[in-house]
Chain A
Amino acid sequence: MSQDEGMFGVNGTGDTSGFGGLVRTGASTGSSERPYGSYFDDVADDLERAYPDFNEAIEAVVVQNGELTLHVKREKLEEVARILRDNPNLQFEMCLGVSGVHYPEQSGRELHAVYPLLSMSRNRRIRLEVSVPDADPHIPTLVEVWAGNNWHERETFDMFGIIFDGHAGLTRILMPDDWAGHPQRKDYPLGGIPVEFHGATVPAPSERRSYR
């Protein structure tokens, strides 16, 4: 026997707009097709020529928004970085730090480290991206290649818990030393308290209704 609940037959969110049925597809993670355009083909070719393990080390070459991203296996990161820095055709003399990104839904590659590289000699930019599982968040350090990555790696460790193997002083840099957890991970709450305002209460930002 069926059983009706409530008065108006509305269950769940009560959304009658139909927008609740929208499905959004995320960014594609596959490799881009050649030609990549701009100087990107030259960079890929030069790296391939200079680095015999290219096919093994580079998981994907993605061109998006006019930017080239090389997805590198972590075991090969330092080798790739050294060639990108030292090869006379590449000359990426400067690394502009590390940015971590946490994708909890990408199982087996939850944590990403993103390195924007800059070649002043050739006026080019590319990006390296390394992904590691949450259960084994180790990436080799690049401080030996670009000393300026020191603080950036400490920040990424502090915020995401990525451990940069070989870093000489991988300690927290922005949060207090005895802080528990890594604040920029998606499973770490924003915190905040409800705000009283003229008798009404505005919930904390993370508790407010939001559009996806």
Chain B
Amino acid sequence: MTFDPYASSRETTEGRVYSVTGGDWDELSTEIGATKEERVVVNMGPQHPSTHGVLRLILELEGETVTEARCGIGYLHTGIEKNTEYRTWTQGVTFVTRMDYLAPIFNETAYCMSVEKLLGITEQIPERAQVIRVMMMELNRISSHMVCFGTGGLELGALTPIFFAFRDRETVLDIFEEVSGLRMNMAYIRPGGVAQDVPADAVSRIREACRDMRKSFKDNETLLVGNSIWMKRTKDVGYLDLAGCMTLGVTGPILRAAGMPWDLRKSQPYSGYENYNFDVITTDTSDAYGRFLVRLGELEQSLRIIEQCCDFLDKLNGAPVMVADKKIAWPAQLSVSADGMGNSLSHIREIMGESMEALIHHFKIVTEGFRVPAGQAYAAVESPRGETGVHTVSDGGTRPYRVHFREPSFNNLQSTAAMCEGGMIADVISAVASIDPVMGGVDR
């Protein structure tokens, strides 16, 4: 007998297994109704529109109550950590940016900070490069939170927020494109600084975008804050209090929604965050609604920081954006011309026509890379989802010996069981959406 994957049911050692493909609910409920078994194990995902990516949820149900919830992950495992061991330290940026693909700038910055720590050049990063990093991170925080609102709303059946959210996200991605040439996975932050300076007219356009976004954020705010359906779906749902957060290592908006004002930007400032005025947003409800409010509040704070960045950039106009040490700084320069981003013609002229030594230097740094003193370092940044920590080990060579990402999505997803067990199955969706896991970061 041949195996039919679309058969509605088959016997296994674990009991009868039903395959649901949609549109066959009546058939299924009659068949299940005929059995005496009250305990049902639902395998939800990894291909399911409401599991926030390729997340597989294994839910044990009694009626509509979830008695046990477990996550199956690994469907997006790409071996990025292993791959970085076969590339230079600079090429590593291109890999790590693809981990949490909604927060690429944070992955890059955390990775570069750990490499810079190993090199001992943390203090030498030019101020302008630090300001650009902060600005890009805060823009990225907005675009990431927008996906959280948009897809989170969709998962709960609110179809409008995603239009507002992706409209605003588009504004941010346009800025990314203008600054780095790419909308996602930019590999823009490099060990020693950033890949290239922001274009001359970008700052004024970013200011304008901030003004626009401050107005347009109101759309989702007025739509969702206090909305009775949204409140019913999120209030007191996915409850995780401070003690739970601490033992599960949960950071980010989930921790701040439990009342803990812990934000690495304030408590352990990096990239010059101590120079900016902003507030840490908290709520004390420990539920999905509280997390939503925290993220909403963070949008305004990000705008505040970006506007201060613009002021700093005006002041630091023309300052270097890459460390002065030529043995580390990436020699190639890019520029934007009529046909888009490409090699800077003046740099090409120099290495091809004027200086043999510059050509040799370019070739050596690009193909061989730089050596990083042996040792290990840990650097952490406050990403939209919590603490993104990078543990980097060097054996003194031109390639990383080990790069490990402590991904907040990976860690926070563990709290699914604590948030969902004992609740209703519909609330699982709400709880997972409020964790805001990005499977690229979870599985790496």
Contacts and interface: CB of A to CB of B under 8 A. Distances in A.
B432 to A, nearest CB: 15
A38 B118 CA distance: 18
Contact of A99 (B247, B375, B391): B391
B401 interface: yes
Interface residues of B, number: 52
A203 B444 CA distance: 24
A49 interface: no
Interface hub of A25, A127, A174, A206 (most chain B Cβ within 10 A): A174
B144 to A, nearest CB: 20
Nearest to B414: A151
Interface in A63-113: 64-67, 69, 93-97, 99-102
A147 B81 contact: no
Given A116-B378, A173-B73, A210 B79 contact: no
Interface in B228-269: 246-251, 260, 262, 267-268
Contacts of B87: 205
Interface string B53-90: 00000000000000000000110010101110111000
Contacts of B380: 96
Contact of A101 (B77, B387, B401): B401
B374 interface: yes
A192 to B, nearest CB: 9
Given A99-B402, A120-B260, A210-B399, A150 B414 contact: yes
Interface in A1-55: 24-27
Contacts of B268: 123, 125
Interface residues of A, number: 47
B397 interface: yes
A175 interface: yes
B369 A65 contact: no
A206 B86 contact: yes
12 contacts: A25-B396, A27-B395, A65-B377, A67-B378, A116-B389, A146-B249, A150-B414, A184-B82, A190-B85, A210-B399, A211-B398, A212-B397
Instruction: Please name the 6 residue pairs, one residue from A and one from B, whose CB atoms are nearest each other, closest first.
Output: A148-B249, A99-B404, A27-B374, A174-B74, A148-B248, A99-B391
Interface of B: 73-74, 77, 79, 81-83, 85-87, 117-118, 120, 246-251, 260, 262, 267-268, 367-369, 373-378, 380, 387, 389, 391, 393, 395-399, 401-402, 404, 406, 410-411, 413-414, 443-444
Given A116-B378, A175-B74, 20 more contacts: A25-B396, A26-B374, A26-B395, A27-B376, A27-B395, A27-B396, A65-B375, A67-B377, A94-B249, A96-B411, A101-B393, A146-B247, A147-B248, A148-B249, A174-B74, A183-B79, A190-B85, A190-B86, A210-B398, A211-B367
